[in-house]
Amino acid sequence: MCGFSTNEIAKRLFISEANVYKRFNRAKSSLQTSELDIANFSLGELNTRFSNVLNVIYLIFTEGYLSSHPDKAIRLDLCQEAIHLASVLSEHPSGNKPETFALLALMFFHLARMNSRQEGSGELILFSDQDRSLWHDKYIKIGMSYLLDSAKGEHLSRYHLEASIAAEHCLAPSFEQTNWQSILSAYDKLQQISPSALLGLNRAIVVSHLDGPEAALTFLASLTPPNWLACSYHWYAVKADLLFQIGKSQVANLEMQKAINAAPTEHINALLRKRFNRYLV
């Protein structure tokens, strides 16, 4: 689907390529031998697949937003395809639900910032350095409209909370004026309804803006990340950032190097170097 390689799928699902290959072959075999009449599924049968469909659409958008492709840091075509699929889903009885509108809101908020995420040379720009005048007001308004539509139901999904976080970023006058307390509350609720190891790392970043780097490091120390996260550039980079901020440059340099070595693409490698250069001058 969308021409993804096993390597790209593995990176998004945080599993090995061998595992992806096995799952792919099992899925093909199952589809070849099953007698599923997809065109005549009942609404109930479609509803049981609803959350998985949303998850796939979100993963397509995620791959477009920060691509694992060696030559393309951003794949706008995938972002647009994900939004198109979600829009089509929202018009179907099985997909006309608050969660779909919340996902659409989330994707439009991210899409609104797309023009500010790359330099003319193609290099990625740090979020704190993005020119907010380049943000697309129309997309932010569309995102807010979908967010309002998503509030009409009683169920609170991960997409509602992630969209509320993205909205806070889009509505903040500047990076420094971001409502970090509201974002922290959203992360805490996310951890309750949709636990994820990566959420803890993101929460640590928010804590650093609210209570300082030492508090964030203390929180990180309380986590037990799975191996895929503990060995990822995400984990090393956040630790390096926080250690640099409290003046532990020697340890920070070690974590920085681990992050750079673990970068999956040249674009992310360059972004990490840019991120840490401010501490090395």
pTM for this entry: 0.90
Residue span of the structural domain in which 143 resides: 48-196
Q: How far is CA 68 from the centre of its chain?
A: 13
pLDDT of residue 1: 61
Indicate whether 86 and 132 sit together in one domain. Answer: yes
Indicate whether 125 and 183 sit together in one domain. Answer: yes
Tell me the average pLDDT of the chain. 93
Query: Which residue among 170, 196, 222 closes a domain?
Result: 196
- What percent of the chain has pLDDT above 90? 75
- Could you report the per-residue pLDDT of 251-274, keeping only the tens digit for each? 999 999 999 999 999 999 999 999
Report if residue 137 sits inside a domain: yes
Indicate the pLDDT class of residue 16, thresholds 50, 70 and 90.
confident
- The count of structural domains within the chain is 3
- Average pLDDT for 92-100: 93
Indicate the pLDDT class of residue 42, thresholds 50, 70 and 90.
confident
Indicate whether 126 and 255 sit together in one domain. Answer: no
CA-based end-to-end distance of the chain: 45
Tell me the two tokens of residue 97: 């639900």
- Average pLDDT for 57-71: 91
CA-CA distance, 40 to 63, in Å (whole number)? 31
Query: Which residue among 139, 162, 196 closes a domain?
Result: 196
CA-CA distance, 190 to 152, in Å (whole number)? 19
Place of tokens 């780097």: 213
Indicate whether 187 and 250 sit together in one domain. Answer: no
